Structure 1
Amino acid sequence: MNDTGYNKQKYLGSKGLIAFIGLMNAFIPLSTDLYLPALPTMSSYFVSSSAITNLTLSVFFLFYAVGILIWGPLSDKYGRKPILIVGAIIYIISSVSCALSTNVYFLILARAMQGVGAGGITSVSVAIIKDCFSGKRRESMLAITQSISGLAPMIAPILGAWILKFSNWRGVFWSLAVVSIINLILTILYKETLKEEERYTGTLIGSMGRLIIVSKNKSFFIPTVIFSLNALPFMGYLALSSYIYVDYFHLNEQVYSYFFAVNALVSILGPVIYVRYLTNISKKIFPMACFGLALLSGVLVMSIGTLSPIAFVLSFMIMSLTCTAIRPFSTNILFEQQKGDTGSASSVINTLFTVLGSIGMAIASMPWSNIVVGLGILITIFSLAPLIGWYAFMKSNIPCIGIKDMDYKLGKDYVD
């Protein structure tokens, strides 16, 4: 573990730092799932089609992806804290703008800026873990923070529905502004974790160019793509979940929220199970086992998942468990491949996951004759692809720190 950051958080302390990172990782599910119950009401208020109103979701994700690409490299040059402060301020202003919107297109614009602010918060949160921890300790911290942030998608729709009982859709965005104000206060209390000697000293344009340098590192980029493929079926499920439970299985919205919460609970347990029981398993075999179980989940969803909502959730639960269990493992391994440029590496990881996840949502939303079978096909294909990809990567001559037993030296471009 590095000397900077974790042990020297005068105001936050060790537990406060972990909670702070967990809150920052929760910004995306809070920014999206919290106001899902309000979408029909918003369409009625703005007299807009559901397609136009839903742009508040897709535009948010698009600018979030742009944001993390920009903020990550800048945090390597200027430090984590300034980027967090700017990101939080942008998020607060845009959340207030969302709450005050009287026009759907102004709301879409405000959501775009909200995505930019969220990108700064999320990309830096992952980089802070790399600053402060290493080895198994880093895996444990990744598991803890990912489990904390996993609570957000479980409680956000329920909390959003509760807010709507006492307020209208504007209350949701006022709530997001309050969350971001709390995050800004914690940011002010947070002590910088990136050492001066580890910062990028080149030009501003040069700092953005680090994204290209990082992406040229095959030891980092290829496994990043492989691990990110899981985002397609996972995000596809989020896009289809309400239609599957409400329209396909004819459950009411309240019962749907229970099934959604059960799956979210399983997602929270994934990282915990890995750190507690699976860290000593072969690092070559563990990803193949996860991808293989996810493949089984896809086959089960296509076959017995169509029979009942219980059969569906039990079938998909395997995918949720393996997809989240592999995250602390994969993030730690990816950081091991890239010495330096942590912010840029974090940006690449988050951007790939976001972009591929958005593609997964689009594919899942296609007019399948049977949406459950369609989701099962998506799970099957994008579990088989990373399984084959990981096997081929392990057989290749490309080095991989911490997994392949071979001697090698990273090239200059990888560590500059």
Structure 2
Amino acid sequence: MSTGTATVPDRVSETTTPAPRRLRYALILGGLSAFGPLSIDMYLPAFPGMTGDLGTAESTLQLTLTAFVMGLAVGQLVIGPLSDALGRRRPLIAGIAVYAVASVLCALAPSAELLIAARVLQALGAAAGIVVARATVRDLFSGTAMTKFFSMLMLVNGLAPILAPVIGGQVLQWTSWRGVFVVLTVFGVLLLAVVAIAMPEPLPPHRRRPARIRTIAATYRGLLGDRAFVGYALTSGLTFAGVFAYISGSSFVLQEVYALSPQQYSLAFGLNGIGIVIAGQINGRIVGRFPERVLLRAGLLGSTTGAVAMVVAAATAAPLPYLMVPLFLVVSGIGLIMPNTMSLALADHPHTAGAASALLGVVQFVVAGLASPLVGLFGEGSAVPMASIMAGFGLLALLTFSTLTRAGIAAPPAVREAA
């Protein structure tokens, strides 16, 4: 096992990499990419109680989600090119350290405004884990092997939204919402130790690019000029925006409209994450027999159909099961959509994987950040606003995929890279 600052070979493959090493990468990179869902989902069961404790409105409290998402976007723009220039480990270790410190500040925040500020700092640190995890997969794999590995990560990523609200609900039985951020601090410290000890440097020096402002700007211009890359990034972002509408609105809808307890809500929320795991593992098994685009289209169609059915259930005030079944379908679609969009978006950019991963994440989280205030803006006391916004983003994602990533569209030669 390589440790410390040792580097891995230039490119490994699914067939040449031993299963234990692939599992080690999956666990470490899955933990890194879990920063987002854990930091977003774990404190959701505490939302109703936090409004009274901090003396603030629901719409203001939802800004703690928006602030985190926007911080992730800015952080990824910075960390991505830095990781292309300095290697993956140094920016990653610095980012996790910032995350741990910011989590302590969140736990100590005396007001909603200071909590929002601490969440921005926490997100800047979390961004390092998310962007480096995706870039490392591109460093190590290509083609179908890359898609399969992203699907393997869905097993780990799927557990994060399952476990996060459950853990949050259990923490609330013993302490307040501040204890949730203490748990996140411990997670950050433990992951920092694991990365420092067990994760080798995946990007050798001869494959790094200088971190000059002009070079970074040219790289981002090239990525934005790649119509297919932009299409896959927007498809991913719009899909995630629909799910983020559920993340930001479900706590109030399920607990206040459908009268679930925090523990019942956390279990219902976690149950939906099982669909991500199942769909992700199915995707990993059948990719290669079916093209990534076919699997991506299937995920988009299923997710959008589920969201439309949610609107019908909410508008007719149907019992909770009629809302939860199509919601399960919407969330499950992530297991098909995300591995394939990430693989297809990064496929032509092996030498700027950090910047491409960053821009992919920025588009995803900026678009998703629009969803949280929209849910609060269009009213409370009903599931209709949440369901309608989810359906709208799902339809936009399907339209974007169908128009910007059509078969036969190729990036201009100037912005494509040889693998």
Which residue of the other structure, out of 91, 94, 98, is the alignment partner of 1:86?
A: 94
1:270 counterpart = 2:276: no
Match of 2:330 among 310, 314, 319: 319
Query: Residues 96 and 242 of structure 1: is their aligned pair in 2 closer, same or farther, counting only changes over 3 Å?
Result: closer
1:182 to 167, 186, 190: 190
Per-residue deviation, residues 99-157 of structure 1 (Å, max 9, x unmatched): 33345443332221111101111111110111111222211211111221221111112
Q: Which residue of 2 aligns with 1:207?
A: 216
Answer whether contact 1:75 1:83 (CA < 8 A) is retained.
yes
Task: Give the distance between the partners of 2:251 and 2:211, measured in 1 at CA.
Answer: 48
The answer for unaligned runs of 5 or more in structure 1 is 401-409
- Which one of the candidate residues 390, 398, 402 is aligned to 1:391? 402
1:352 partnered with 2:360: no
Match among 35, 43, 50 for residue 43 of structure 2: 35
Quote how far apart the aligned CAs of 1:304 are. Answer: 3.8
Whole-Å separation in 1 of the counterparts to 2:148 and 2:310: 31
Gap change, CA 1:239 and 1:4, over 3 Å in 2: same
Asked whether the 8 Å contact 1:94–1:110 carries over to 2, the reply is yes
Asked if the contact 2:102/2:118 (under 8 Å) is kept, the reply is: yes
Amino acid at match of 1:22: G
Q: Is residue 2:119 matched to residue 1:111?
A: yes
Q: 1:374 to 1:330 in 2, by over 3 A?
A: same
* Cα distance, 1:104–1:313 mapped onto 2, change above 3 Å: closer
Shift in CA distance, 82/205, structure 1 to aligned 2, threshold 3 Å: farther
- Contact 1:364–1:375, Cα closer than 8 Å, also in 2: yes
Matched, 1:365 2:367: no
Partner of 1:292: 301
CA distance in 1, matches of 2:402, 2:47: 43
1:167 to partner: Cα distance = 3.2
Q: Please name the residue that 2:137 is paired with.
A: 129
Q: Structure 1's 373 and 388: CA in aligned 2 closer, same or farther, altered over 3 A?
A: same
RMSD over equivalenced CA pairs, Å: 2.8
Offset of residue 395 of structure 1: 4.8
| Distance in 1 separating the partners of 2:351 and 2:122 | 29
**Cα deviation code 1:221-247 (max 9, x no counterpart):** 123213322122211111221233223
C-alpha displacement of 1:363: 2.5
Amino-acid identity (%): 23
1:58 aligns with 66
Deviations 1:341-392 (A, max 9, x none): 1011101111111111121223233335884343443343333333333333
**AA in 2 matched with 1:412:** A
How many residue pairs end up in the alignment?
405
**Counterparts of 1:9 and 1:287, CA distance in 2:** 27
1:120 and 2:122 correspond: no
- TM-score, normalised on structure 1? 0.87
- CA shift in 2, pair 1:284/1:267, >3 Å: closer
Instruction: Work out which structure has the larger RCO, using CA pairs closer than 8 Å and 6 or more positions apart in sequence.
Output: 2
- Determine the structure 2 residue equivalent to 1:20: 28
Report the counterpart of residue 168 of structure 1 in structure 2: 176
Measure, in 1, the Cα distance between the counterparts of 2:170 and 2:392: 37
Q: Give the partner amino acid of 1:287.
A: L
CA distance in structure 2 between the partners assigned to 1:332 and 1:72 by the alignment:
17
The answer to whether residue 9 in structure 2 is matched with residue 3 in structure 1 is yes
Question: 1:24: Cα distance to partner?
Answer: 0.7
How far apart are 1:22 and its partner, in Å? 0.7
CA distance in 2, matches of 1:28, 1:123: 11
**1:164 offset after TM fit, Å?**
2.9
Q: Distance in 1 between matches of 2:119 and 2:380?
A: 33
How far 1:283 moved relative to its partner?
4.2
User: What letter corresponds to residue 177 of structure 1 in structure 2?
Assistant: T
Q: Alpha carbons of 1:360 and 1:53: their partners in 2 closer, same or farther (altered >3 Å)?
A: closer
Whole-angstrom CA distance in 2 between matches of 1:25 and 1:340? 21
* Equivalent residue, structure 2, for 1:197: 206
Letter in 2 for 1:380: A
Structure 1 residue 210, shift from structure 2 partner:
2.2
TM-score, normalization: structure 2? 0.87
**Amino acid in structure 1 at the alignment position of 2:83:** S
**Distance change >3 Å, CA 399–CA 413, structure 1 → 2:** closer
Counterpart for residue 229 of structure 1: 238
Q: Which moved more, 1:51-60 or 1:348-357?
A: 51-60
In structure 2, the residue matched to 1:329 is: 340
